[in-house]
Amino acid sequence: MKYVPIDYATVKSIYEKSGLSSIGQASIREVKKLIGQIEEATGEEFVKMEMGIPGLPAMQTGVDAQIEALQHGVAALYPDIQGIPELKNETSRFIKLFLNVDVAPESCIPTVGSMMAGMAIFMTVNRMYPDREGTLFIDPCFPVQKQQCKILGHTYESFDVYNYRGDKLREKIESYLKTGKITSILYSNPNNPAWFCFTEDELKIIGELADKYDVIVIEDLAYFGMDFRKDYSKPGVPPYQPTVAKYTKNFILFISSSKIFSYAGERIGSMVISEKVWNTRAPGLKRYFSSDILGNALVFGSIYALSSGTSHSAQYALAAMMKAVNDGEVNYRDQVIIYGEKAKVMKKIFTDNGFKIVYDKDLDEPIADGFYFTVSYPGMTSDELLEELLYYGVSAISLSITGSEHTEGLRACTSLIRPDQFPVLEERLKRFHEDHK
Ligand SMILES: Cc1ncc(COP(=O)(O)O)c(C=O)c1O
């Protein structure tokens, strides 16, 4: 039996009993459950890097506003499906002040997190045209969004963008759009899991192609402003968070509150729909909705059917948090930059111990330090590495569930690790490296 920091036999037995056919194919929540069981059985704390939970307290402005709204009795009332005016106005201001893009408050719709935004958008956008089939995912991506398409019975396409950065992106995306089967393109920026950020030139390519082939770009800004190489956090002052909305009118943006405001628990976000997309008439929608106008079908069809709107009090919370950053009273970046600081230290611990950063560049510039980073260990597949690290008390998720073509890589999340765990991570990875050199 080998000596490893976490009892080998216990880990082996829990893993075997878990029923997982392969740890590499386990979902984020399955990995979380497995780690919880191992911790309970061994009494050893893991260095947990599998799940993207905010590691910070929720923004106090939101908590205060939500309590106040509850005390005023909003819990008893159904909120309007299209959202409370305060939130719609602040979202529209937020988009102007931090992206320099104009959108009307009417087309800023609160959602039960960006998760629900995805479901509602797939349900609607993928049904606009009977002869089109689904979304093109620019991989690697947040796996549950593909799961949403699968659940809805929609087909989708995807490709790993690693080898198609810069000008090569045009030809690659166009090869899918030419088929005439694609309704929409989805990516996250900064990217979950790889933390690369598309350049302005790349966003321009995506925008131009969206116009040429009349497809809708769904830009998922779950990690808004967290490319810490730049400061996008001053309201109304450049530089602005890069966005495809500068290059096309065919856009839908997802603004999650989970990470920038650490408000994941209340499941509240916003989707922002361009005027052009909102007013698009698509006869195919009539098969499922009473209106053939996309905005109406989305709100009074999909969102009504899914949840009849979004938690009333949480809308007041998000409105207050957005107002605070819009008015310059609170700087969201100051509150979350700790993720970048932790990533810097963690990446060094990994690379000092034989690991490599998988997605390491935005063209010729090193990627930013932020919420996630990706690592591999030479000669080990993702599955082997993930399983082996369990015995060293370190958890992550495999890149293979994210659509990455890298068969040797893991995604590590910086949020939950505490600075006092850095020496533990270092010691465990040193040991791992000694055992595997
Ligand atoms: C890229 C991406 N999109 C969407 C979400 C979900 O956001 P929300 O918590 O607002 O549902 C996440 C959460 O981790 C994410 O990483």
pLDDT (tens digit per residue) in 304-321: 999 999 999 999 999 999
Asked, colleague to colleague, whether 8-45+337-436 and 60-326 share their fold, the answer is no
Question: Confidence band (pLDDT; 50, 70, 90) for 1?
Answer: very low
By alpha-carbon position, which residue is closest to atom 15 of ligand 1? 222
What is the percentage of the chain residues whose pLDDT exceeds 90?
89
Predicted confidence (pLDDT) at residue 2 exceeds the cutoff of 60: no
Confidence of residue 393 (pLDDT cuts 50, 70, 90): very high
Contacts of 27 (CB under 8 A, 6+ apart): 143, 144, 401
Cβ contact 48:252 at 8 Å:
no
**Atom 12 in ligand 1: residue holding the nearest Cα:** 222
Ligand 1 near 222 CB (within 6 A): yes
Lowest mean pLDDT among 28-37, 100-109, 273-282: 28-37
| pLDDT of res. 20 | 85
DSSP-derived secondary structure for 367-428:
PPPSSEEEEE-TT--HHHHHHHHHTTTEE-EEGGGGT-S-SS-EEEE-SS--GGGHHHHHHH
| Contact assessment for residue 416 and residue 346, using Cβ atoms and an 8 Å cutoff | no
| pLDDT at position 123 over 50 | yes
Taking CA atoms only, the protein residue closest to ligand 1 atom 2 is 222
Distance (Å, rounded) from C-alpha 283 to C-alpha 127?
10
Q: In whole angstroms, what is the distance from residue 139 CA to residue 170 CA?
A: 15
CATH code of 8-45+337-436, in short, is 3.90.1150.100
Cβ of 91 closer than 6 Å to ligand 1, yes or no, is no
- pLDDT of residue 185 exceeding 50: yes
> What is the rounded average pLDDT of the residues 44-54?
90
The answer to whether residue 367 scores a pLDDT higher than 60 is: yes
The confidence band for 174, taking pLDDT boundaries of 50, 70 and 90, is: very high
Lowest mean pLDDT among 6-20, 92-106, 411-425: 6-20
User: pLDDT digit string (tens) for 257-303?
Assistant: 999 999 999 999 999 999 999 999 999 999 999 999 999 999 999 99
Q: Which atom of ligand 1 is nearest to the CA of 257?
A: 10
CA of 41 to the centre of ligand 1 (A): 31
Q: 222 C-alpha to center of ligand 1: Å?
A: 5
Compute the average pLDDT of residues 59-88: 97
In this prediction, residues 73-90 reach a mean pLDDT of 97
State how far the Cα of 425 lies from the Cα of 419, in Å rounded to an integer.
10
Give the model's pLDDT for residue 407.
86
pLDDT at 30: 86
Q: Whose C-alpha lies nearest to ligand 1, atom 14?
A: 52
Q: Is the pLDDT of residue 255 over 70?
A: yes
Residue 188 has pLDDT above 70, yes or no: yes
Q: Which atom of ligand 1 is nearest to the CA of 259?
A: 9
Q: Decide: pTM greater than 0.75.
A: yes
Contacts 24+ apart (CB under 8 A), 352-356: 353/426, 353/429, 353/430, 353/432, 353/433, 354/378, 354/433, 354/436, 354/437, 355/429
Distance 275 CA to ligand 1 centre (A): 24
- Assign domain 60-326 to a CATH class: alpha beta
- CB 382 near ligand 1, within 6 Å: no
Q: Average pLDDT, whole number, for the chain?
A: 95
Average pLDDT, integer, range 207-221: 98
CB of 138 sitting under 6 A from ligand 1: no
Ligand 1 pocket check for 111: Cβ under 6 Å: no
From 28, 29, 114, mutation site for ligand 1 pocket: most ligand atoms within 8 A of C-beta? 114
Boundaries of every domain in the chain: 8-45+337-436, 60-326
Reply yes or no on whether the pLDDT at 120 is more than 70.
Answer: yes
| pLDDT for res 25 | 80
